[in-house]
Amino acid sequence: MKFKIIFALASVLLIASVLRFFFLDQLPPGLNTDEASQGYDAYSLLLTGKDQWGKSFPIFLRSFGSYQSPLYTYLTIIPTFFWDISIFSTRFISALSGVSIVFLTFLIIRKIEDRANIEISLISSLMVAISPWAIFFSRNATEANLALAIFLGAVYLLLLSLKNINFLPLSFLLLGISTYAYHAQRVITLIFIAFCFFAFRRYFFKKQILFVVSVAIFLVIQIPQFLLINTPGANRRLEQVNYFKQAKGSVVDKSIFIVRKFSAQYSAYLSPNNLFFNPDPQGVRSIPQMSVFYSFMIIPFLFGIKEILKRWIDPLVKILLFAGLISLVPSAFTGEPFYTMRVLPYLWVISLVIGFGGYSILNLLRQKVVKVLALVLLLGFSIPCFYINYFIFLKYERADYYEYPFVEVAKESERLKDEQFVVDTGREPQLYILFAFYKKYDPKKFQEENGLQNIADYYYQTELSKKHTVGNVELKPIDWKDASTEKILVGDEVAISDPQVKDHNLMLLKEFKDLEGEMAVRAFKSSF
Amino acid sequence: MAGKLFNPTVVLFLVSLLNFWVWRIFQGNIFLGVILLFLTFILFRLYQDKKGKLLIALLISIVLVSLFVLGEGWDKTIFAKSPAQVLLQDRRHGYLADNLGKAFTNKASQIFYARFSTPIYKMQENVFSTLDLNLYFFASHPRERAGIDDFEKYSFVFLPVFLIGFVKLLSEKKKIVIYYFLLALVVSAFISSKYRFGPVFFFPLINLAITIGFLYLVNFFRTKLKYEI
């Protein structure tokens, strides 16, 4: 029996690993600028001990002025050390986190007080392994995915601590660390700790010393963040995305506005339409024609709600549901509709509900052969469906978000090392990072050419400069004075229109196409 | 008086009338509004385990509502592709052919892709658009739909009550509710999301869920607080 369980779990983990690591460096095609920033910062930290702007081991990474949580980047130093700066090393931590989440799902659900807990945990981990959201965010360098993996590790240790209190300090250590993985995790973790304290207060009261030690460990880990709490570095992201400034009128009017807006944002995540059909509106966070779950999963989802209600008395079920529902709170305070990356713990809980439902449906089937056939059908439908939408459609239809043409421009600039390039970044000043990444540009030189003038104000520098230099490439809004010097100008049809080509006597050198074969950007030589 | 106020039928009556949806329907088509109210009450009585002639009344009401709704709201675009859809389908045809080879270019796949994939997708789209809480409580905010006159059907304060009622309905597993829900889904596959009154087949179900949720809360507070409401 034990061999069967290990075999089943190993199979699930194999499926999870293949779906997450298969062609990881090629799909998605290229890197989006956030990923490239994480990868390049890791490279810079590895080689110089400083981030791209010249700050030594910052608590929050400035990146483009939004100050990311640091943990993902710091952990990426490890794969970068082994495999050099590359798409694979940049995404490795997220893919590994994705597989860990599947394994932790099995461990956590096994703790349910149910004689069928092994079957339920295997089916739940399979659901997480094949769910589109879990695969998608594991194949991008996603901080939230790492945060979820660490959070689930903490939850598992917390569950162990209910039988053996010695696990509690470890749990709180991980909870503390998880707050450095993703901004929203700071809020989720605090509410979660408060809930656990309330739910298990009698138990913790009997083990006061270890509980106090655990809380102390958590608080000590928060000190660096605490010291920066009044800087834009700590709060920039919330300031950028909340809707409080939109509230107008009297206090009552503003309160109603905020309550209504919060409720609308919150319930958008509960809607089956958004969960099972209508993808995240932002292309960079979604798969064409597919939402965070397959459409057919609504059926086990409905069965799963009933199964969860049957087990409502189990404290584990309560903890997991609560964790899922509170993880929507930070996202509900932002104006972006159905921002899937912020609610991964919630999506994980939905996967569990689907897993429970899957178990319920399989239970209706009497014969083992029929059950196995049902599982084979499930995989036989889900994986090809995912393959078509992700491995085929996404490659072409989302290539824009991964700036595929600029990969080619960066390679061209390496090939023509003696030429001076000017790349238009008027509308996208962050594009410089792709060149730094793909050219594996020396971080020390980058810091000298582009680093902050006053590093002491690191956590206050929220505005990104519009001009950057990466070796022989200047990235800035095109200044037509450049057309009178011997440079190669690169831009799309908006930056360098056909009339401008004619007016400035530019000579077309090369067209860079996207994966659909459409012209994306062009390189011109000035005829000086 | 208080006991009469929390009479289930009275609560259902109030819920059915104290929403923006029914008045919008009345404004546009008073007969449809009346039939939907009638359908709501029949469904509720059947939920309370009353049977017999009510089943016949339910079926007749469903047929009448279907005549109104499918007559005006039939989604003509299910089997007719817009130029943008044709373009997308052609492009994707190329991607699939390049990447899947014979697995896609064989006759069966080609027929399925050309004739069935788009209608199936559109019908799914119609079905899932009705399974959106925000459609009913927030006029689809924050995911408003372009070209569609979304309107708030119920005040958002009813949302928590609805959710409680929905969970209670799910746990009770009453066949009449399940069959009605499935029927509503099947019919909604063929109704355009631009239909001016929205997914009216769900009107009775939502009223039912809100009523049950409300009664559950009243009972909960009566028991917990031992307070005579």
Distance CA A264, CA A269 (A): 9
In this prediction the pTM is 0.93
Q: Do B134 and A298 touch (CB under 8 A)?
A: no
Per-residue pLDDT of chain B (229 residues; tens, 9 = 90+): 445 557 899 999 999 999 999 999 999 999 999 999 999 999 999 998 766 778 888 999 999 999 999 999 999 999 888 899 999 999 999 999 999 999 999 999 999 999 999 999 999 999 999 999 999 999 998 999 888 888 999 999 999 999 999 999 988 888 899 999 999 999 999 999 889 999 999 999 999 999 999 999 998 888 876 654 4
B148 shares contact with chain A (CB less than 8 Å): no
Q: Do B129 and A392 touch (CB under 8 A)?
A: no
| Exposure of A518 in the CB half-sphere (CA atoms within 13 A) | 9
Q: What is the 3-state secondary structure (H, E, C) of A428-442?
A: CHHHHHHHHHHCCCC
Chain B residue nearest residue A303, CA to CA:
B170
The ipTM (two decimal places) reads 0.91
pLDDT at residue B93, rounded to an integer: 94
Q: What is the pLDDT of residues A229-285, one digit of tens each?
A: 888 776 666 666 678 777 888 889 888 899 999 999 999 999 999 999 999 998 889
The CA–CA distances, whole Å, from A477 to A320, A489, A491, A504, B74 equal 49, 11, 10, 16, 51
Angle at alpha carbon of residue A467, lines to A465 and A473, rounded to 5°: 145
Give which of B93, B118, B131, B137 to mutate to test A binding, by max A Cβ within 10 Å: B131
pLDDT at residue A237, rounded to an integer: 63
Q: Do A267 and B133 touch (CB under 8 A)?
A: yes
Per-residue confidence at A517, pLDDT binned at 50, 70, 90? Answer: confident
pLDDT at residue A452, rounded to an integer: 87
Distance CA A137, CA A148 (A): 11
pLDDT at residue B229, rounded to an integer: 43
The ranges assigned to domains in chain A are 86-397, 403-526
Q: What is the pLDDT of residues A365-400, one digit of tens each?
A: 888 888 888 888 888 989 999 999 999 999 999 888
**pLDDT of A213 strictly over 70:** yes
A188 in Cβ contact with A154 (< 8 Å)? no
Give which of B88, B126, B133, B205 to mutate to test A binding, by max A Cβ within 10 Å: B133
pLDDT at residue B11, rounded to an integer: 93
B95 shares contact with chain A (CB less than 8 Å): yes
Angle at alpha carbon of residue A501, lines to A500 and A506, rounded to 5°: 135
User: Cα torsion for A383, A399, A78, A154, to the nearest 10°?
Assistant: -50
pLDDT at residue B228, rounded to an integer: 45
Distance CA A154, CA A177 (A): 10
pLDDT at residue B81, rounded to an integer: 86
**pLDDT of A294 strictly over 60:** yes
Q: Do B132 and A298 touch (CB under 8 A)?
A: no
> Chain A residues with CB-CB distance to B under 8 A?
260, 263-265, 267-268, 270-274, 276-278, 281, 289, 295, 298, 302, 305-306, 309, 335, 337-338, 388, 391-393, 395-396, 516
B128 in Cβ contact with A273 (< 8 Å)? yes
Q: How many CB atoms lie within 10 A of CB B69?
A: 22
Distance CA A217, CA B6 (A): 52
Domain total of chain B? 1
Instruction: Please list every residue in chain B whose beta carbon sits closer than 8 Å to the beta carbon of residue A270.
Output: 133, 163
Distance from CA of B92 to the nearest CA of A (A): 7
Nearest to A279 by CA among A270, A268, A288: A288
Q: Do A267 and B138 touch (CB under 8 A)?
A: yes
Identity of the amino acid at B217 = L
Q: Do B143 and A268 touch (CB under 8 A)?
A: yes
pLDDT at residue A512, rounded to an integer: 93
B97 shares contact with chain A (CB less than 8 Å): no
The CA–CA distances, whole Å, from A9 to A6, A13, A122, A291, B209 equal 5, 6, 7, 26, 40
Q: Do B138 and A260 touch (CB under 8 A)?
A: yes
Instruction: Please list every residue in chain B whose beta carbon sits closer than 8 Å to the beta carbon of residue A264.
Output: 134, 137-138, 141-142, 156
The three-class DSSP label of residue B158 is: helix
Distance CA A438, CA A409 (A): 10
Q: What is the pLDDT of residues A447-489, one digit of tens each?
A: 999 988 888 889 998 888 899 999 999 999 988 887 778 889 9
The CA–CA distances, whole Å, from B205 to B11, B37, B68 equal 14, 11, 18
Q: Which residue has the tokens 């062609």?
A: A23
Q: Could you tell me where the DSSP H helices lie in A269-343? A: 272-276, 298-310, 315-326, 328-332
Q: Do A271 and B133 touch (CB under 8 A)?
A: yes
Identity of the amino acid at B5 = L
- Closest in A263, A289, A306 to B159, CB measured: A263
Average pLDDT, chain A: 91
pLDDT at residue A470, rounded to an integer: 95
Nearest to A470 by CA among A497, A431, A528, A509: A431
Chain B residue nearest residue A296, CA to CA:
B124
CA A169 to chain centre: 27
Domain range enclosing B14: 2-225
pLDDT at residue B223, rounded to an integer: 83
Distance from CA of A135 to the nearest CA of B (A): 20
Distance CA A470, CA A414 (A): 11
pLDDT at residue A232, rounded to an integer: 78
Angle at alpha carbon of residue B146, lines to B144 and B148, rounded to 5°: 85
Distance CA A60, CA A476 (A): 26
Instruction: Please list every residue in chain B whose beta carbon sits closer than 8 Å to the beta carbon of residue A334.
Output: none
Instruction: Please list every residue in chain A whose beta carbon sits closer than 8 Å to the beta carbon of residue B101.
Output: none
Q: Which two tokens stand for residue A182?
A: 């993703």
Residue A89: Cβ-neighbour burial (10 angstroms; 0-12, 13-18, 19+): buried
Number of inter-chain CB pairs under 8 A, A vs B: 78
Distance CA A13, CA A175 (A): 25
| Exposure of B136 in the CB half-sphere (CA atoms within 13 A) | 30
Q: Could you tell me where the DSSP H helices lie in A110-182? A: 117-130, 132-138, 143-161, 168-178
Give which of A241, A267, A310 to mutate to test B binding, by max B Cβ within 10 Å: A267
The three-class DSSP label of residue A120 is: helix
Distance CA B6, CA A104 (A): 47
A111 in Cβ contact with A316 (< 8 Å)? yes
Nearest to A142 by CA among A2, A24, A249: A24
- Closest in B124, B156, B167 to A277, CB measured: B124
